[in-house]
Amino acid sequence: MNYDLGRNFSTRLRMEETSLWRTGVSTAQVIGGWQELRWKPSRFFAVRSSGGGVRFADDSSRGTYSGDLDLFPLKGLTISGGFSRFPLVPTLEAAQADLLAEGWHTRIDYRRYGFALTGSLFLSHLSDGNRGEREFAEAMKWFGSGRVSVGTGYAFRHLHMKEELNHGYFSPSQYHSHLGAAGLRLTLGKHYRGEYIGYLGGEKINAADFTGAGEMLVRNEFFVRHWEFDATYSHFQLVQSTAAFHANEVSGSAGYRF
**Mean of the pLDDT values across residues 79-94?**
90
Distance of alpha carbon 5 from alpha carbon 125, whole angstroms: 34
pTM of the shown model: 0.82
Q: Is 98 helix (H, G, I), strand (E, B) or coil?
A: coil
pLDDT band (50, 70, 90) for residue 243: very low
Closest CA to 179 of 195, 160, 198: 198
Q: Could you tell me if 5 and 36 are in contact, meaning their C-beta atoms sit under 8 angstroms apart?
A: no
Helices (H), 28-176: 92-96
Helix (H) or strand (E) holding 117: strand 115-126
CATH number listed for the domain at residues 56-256: 2.40.160
User: In Å, how far are 24, 57, 91, 220, 240 from 19, measured between CA atoms?
Assistant: 15, 9, 10, 20, 20
Distance of alpha carbon 85 from alpha carbon 125, whole angstroms: 9
The segment with the largest mean pLDDT, out of 4-13, 40-49, 236-245, is 40-49
Q: Which amino acid is at 248?
A: N
Distance of alpha carbon 11 from alpha carbon 31, whole angstroms: 21
Q: Could you tell me if 68 and 46 are in contact, meaning their C-beta atoms sit under 8 angstroms apart?
A: no
Residue 238 pLDDT: 60
Q: What percent of the chain has pLDDT over 70?
A: 95
**Mean of the pLDDT values across residues 239-251?**
64
- Rg of the chain, C-alpha, whole Å: 19
Residue 58 per-residue DSSP state: T
Domain boundaries of the chain, sorted by first residue: 56-256
On average, the pLDDT of the chain sits at: 89
Per-residue pLDDT for 241 more than 60?
Answer: no
pLDDT band (50, 70, 90) for residue 240: low
Q: Which amino acid is at 210?
A: F
Residue 146 pLDDT: 78
pLDDT band (50, 70, 90) for residue 255: confident
Q: Could you tell me if 52 and 15 are in contact, meaning their C-beta atoms sit under 8 angstroms apart?
A: no
